[in-house]
A and B are shown apart, each in its own frame.
Chain A
Amino acid sequence: MKKKSAALLVVGLLAATLPFWAADQYQLHLAALIAAFWILIGGLNLVVGYTGQLSIGHVGLLAVGAYTFAILAGPEEVHPALAVLASGGLCGLFGLLLGLPSLRLPGFYFAMATMAVALIVGEFIMANGDLTGGGIGLAVPSFPAPFDSPAGFYYLVLGLAALVTWCTWNVARRMWGRGLIAIRDNPVTAQAVGVPVFRAKLKVFVFSGITAGVAGAVFASLQSYITPDTFVFELSLFFFVCIIIGGRGSIVGPLIGTMILTALPELVAPLAKLGNFFYGLLLLVVVLLVPEGIGRVFEVIAERLRPRRIESIPVRPDLDRLTRALQRPR
């Protein structure tokens, strides 16, 4: 436990001081991108990793959040902070409207419904050109001072990401999280022991909608220009791979997955060309070989190196007592 909190402290310090030791602006941009993605993935993790609802359409919610922010903070000249709140609220409402019918459906139907939403949002953006700029896209304003510099913006996104992490951690470690895991592992049993299955799923889904909206707002501001092509369906796959590779039912795993997978194609150029093919391959390999997540690999290796000693408690038969019991007169 001590080791864990020490590691957490070190990572927190490194993240907080990043603007002072980052080599260039690009690394800072990358770190902000990771944090922005994590805002969404942290919320989605509760839905996918804990509750086991495979939502493959969160990119649609991200797009709604991004466009809401771009329209409100741009042409409508609303204060960016309010626009972020509006993005989160609207996406939460959207999540509620989407979740009400679709969360009642079994696994594959739910996945298809969320995928359809991702496609519908894209269609809607293209259809309402006068509002969203259509295929040309929209310029997104940046935040006012002190968040207008790369370092300031990085702190803003980092703070939001930390907030989301704290929220999900609070949910995950209490009774709520246990209930969600029970729903994932066996919904019938969960219902039998009194977990309000549908309501729990809906609440978590709405929460993930809110985080997706906030993530969309900061993501759009980070990109500074958004088009419908920014929100391709494959981005959903990327979110998914981050969670699955980190391991379901964990927060640290997906966080590490997000960091590595966001940074990897940027640092290794050939991977960027393959792009989504690489994510697909990664997902397939993880699902086939280690469905518990990459963390499981390290556990197995650690077990090989240092086998856990299993204490054997020998049970000696108490023969005297047995004889007496058998010889007792009936």
Chain B
Amino acid sequence: MWSVLVSGLATGALFAATALVYNVMFSTSKVLSITTGHIAMLGGVFGAWFITALGLPWIVGLVGALVVGAAFGWLTDVLAIRRVLARSDEHLWLLSTLALATMVQQAVGLWWGTEPKPFPRLIPQDFGAGITDQKFWLPIVVAVAMALGLELFYRRTMYGKLFLAMSEDAFAARARGVPTDRIRAVSYVIAGALGALAGFAAGQLTFAYFALGLTLTLNGFIALAVGGLGSNVGALIGGAALGLLNAFSSYFVGGEFQQTISVGLLMLVLLLKPEGLLGSKNTRPV
């Protein structure tokens, strides 16, 4: 039973970390990017490649994965967001990020192969460690650290405050002299690095697998919508709830209906409390 709890929390932490990445990008651009899950996938795949195939020490592999993730985040902004936001058609970013996500997934599939490959052990530890295994607590620690770090970043640094200003009202921020385009690019780079970190930390749990991105995009979004869009604490709670629900339902019911149950949770929350547990209420579109 404890192992179900811990593995549920670990998957939930990965979902929560994905939801945090959504939040970072959403704060400055009001865009929910479909590439979010793919960033984490890149972190896992490139981490495994750097460490296993190139034989680098894990700390170098981590830095490499972060750089790849940050570069991809920046690329997302340049290719899929910048021009589309200038056009102010609200649906187009969905299409452009979907296109980019597919391209990345297919490219990784062609290069890395379509089979999940094992992620190397980061810290020397026995494989029989049970619930104290690093594959469980690494993602949990990283997700909590990410949420704390983001909270500090938003409250204590100038850039963080600029993010908040842009999430409140991008036009007003621009009028006050905030270079909104540059801040958005910075937020995408940060989101890319954080997503890669999450994928790297959870690599031993998920394996380095090219099709992970889409599942993570969906589940991270469910965690986000359950917790409330824009809330970091909500993302942690939503992720943990979703992970636990997944783990216990596959323990009691069987593993075949994981997606169905996750989406059921999403629908339930959206019906009862459309803004999520800790989200701010939507105003009417008029």
Contacts and interface: CB of A to CB of B under 8 A. Distances in A.
A107 interface: yes
Pairs of residues from A and B, 6 with the lowest C-beta to C-beta distance, nearest first? A127-B256, A280-B102, A277-B106, A283-B99, A284-B99, A280-B103
B256 A115 contact: no
Contacts of B84: 287-288
A199 to B, nearest CB: 18
19 contacts: A105-B270, A108-B94, A115-B214, A116-B259, A120-B259, A123-B256, A187-B285, A233-B214, A240-B95, A240-B98, A277-B102, A277-B103, A281-B99, A282-B99, A283-B98, A284-B96, A287-B84, A288-B83, A291-B89
B87 A291 contact: yes
A283 to B, nearest CB: 4
A67 to B, nearest CB: 16
A281 B218 CA distance: 22
Interface residues of A, number: 40
Interface centre among B89, B98, B101, B214 (most CB of A within 10 A): B98
A54 B260 contact: no
Interface of B: 32, 79-80, 83-84, 87, 89-92, 94-96, 98-103, 106-107, 110, 214-215, 218, 221-222, 225, 254, 256-260, 262-263, 266-267, 270-271, 285-286
A291 B218 contact: no
Q: Could you tell me the dominant secondary structure of chain A's interface residues?
A: helix
Interface centre among A107, A244, A288 (most CB of B within 10 A): A288
Contacts of A119: 214-215, 218, 259
Nearest to A285: B99
Interface of A: 52, 54, 56, 101, 105, 107-109, 111-113, 115-117, 119-120, 123-124, 126-127, 187-188, 233-234, 237, 240, 244, 274-277, 279-284, 287-288, 291
Contacts of A112: 218, 221-222
A238 to B, nearest CB: 10
A275 B106 contact: yes
Contacts of B262: 116
A54 B91 contact: yes
Nearest to A241: B99
Contact of A280 (B99, B266, B267): B99
Contacts of A117: 263
A66 to B, nearest CB: 19
Contact of B260 (A120, A234, A288): A120
Nearest to A232: B211
A280 B100 CA distance: 6
Given A101-B271, A283-B99, A283-B102, 15 more contacts: A101-B267, A112-B218, A113-B263, A113-B266, A116-B266, A119-B215, A124-B256, A188-B286, A233-B214, A234-B106, A237-B102, A274-B106, A287-B99, A288-B96, A291-B87
A194 to B, nearest CB: 16
Contacts of A109: 225, 270
Contacts of B214: 115, 119, 233
A123 B259 contact: yes
A207 B100 CA distance: 30
B91 A120 contact: no
Contacts of A291: 87, 89, 92
B257 A127 contact: yes
B142 to A, nearest CB: 24
Contacts of A234: 102, 106
A126 B258 CA distance: 12
A78 B141 CA distance: 57
B94 A281 contact: no
A237 B263 CA distance: 21
Nearest to B89: A291
Nearest to A119: B259
Contact of B90 (A107, A126, A288): A107
B257 A123 contact: yes
